[in-house]
Homo-oligomer: A and B are copies of this chain.
């Protein structure tokens, strides 16, 4: 059979949605979203383990794996309202970053070219390069803006002697022209990386990076609204890349390069929901979940919910639902 299935473990799908195989277009005809696993951790600069991320994100939930997840607040059931399929994992050998990137880019492009939104489950952040490139190849280089949640800018040049790794994808994306630097929005940066010369390069690209100090001072919602304006200016779609380390290590310990002082899980979930509800998301990835460093599966559960909030926001957007966050859950009260 053509389907590769999960690389590390049994052949399951995200919460029980139907399967598809990327080399058999009939299996994903008409799909709204196709989930792709990217079990690669060869590009991390510190703690590995994200190769088990796709498996963990797919299965970490206390509810039945029945392909249905009705969203309390939005009143949609994304897994039912949208046609969401799971293509399994792309074979990605962690010892060969270049071959792995190429294989993933082809898979993502295949999904995008079929008119579906690729939702890529990482893996370390190396994969943002093939993820966004694969999407841009379909929608047009420079036509997709980036909303990037992360503690780190990921704009390094050469690390460990390589152009490819989890600290460099955003630079490669801008260099290649796949994405425009002035439509690159970063949320949640903090800490002690990158060094000034890299920040200068970023400034030259006209990137807009919201460090946690600014977010704390101005408010996350204000920053997001501003970023949305930039993202929608002369772009056709948005790529959302969520590095789970944007959250504080207390909320997301299971990751490779945890940086204290991040967003709360609630803030991340609200932001992702709002983005997918308000913006035309054409691709997304969720990265840097490292199960060996997780506790009681709380990081994997968070990543699973990031995926569901994104899908639920997209479902509500497609159905044209309006949402009043201050409204009551139940009618009549």
A contacts, CB < 8 Å to B = 8-13, 16, 41-49, 51-52, 58-59, 62-63, 65, 68-73, 75, 91, 93-99, 126, 160-162, 164-165, 189-196, 199, 202-203, 206-214, 216-218, 248-254, 256-262, 264-266, 269-270, 292-298, 301-302, 305, 308, 325-333
Contacts and interface: CB of A to CB of B under 8 A. Distances in A.
A326 B215 CA distance: 8
A209 B330 contact: yes
Contacts of A43: 94-95
A64 B199 CA distance: 18
Contact of A48 (B94, B162, B192, B217): B94
B63 A208 contact: no
A65 B266 contact: no
B333 A207 contact: yes
Contacts of A45: 62
A265 B248 contact: yes
**Most chain B CB atoms below 10 A, which of A52, A65, A75, A96:** A96
Nearest to A332: B203
A233 to B, nearest CB: 13
Given A95-B95, A218-B326, A41 B47 contact: no
Contact of A330 (B13, B47, B199, B298): B199
Contact of A296 (B202, B211, B249): B249
Given A248-B265, A250-B251, A265-B249, A214 B62 contact: no
Given A210-B328, A293-B296, 14 more contacts: A10-B65, A11-B65, A44-B94, A70-B195, A70-B196, A73-B212, A91-B161, A95-B97, A208-B333, A209-B329, A217-B325, A250-B251, A261-B269, A295-B295
Nearest to A65: B10
Contacts of A218: 326
B216 A161 contact: no
A16 B1 CA distance: 14
Given A72-B192, A192-B63, A260-B265, A10 B10 contact: yes
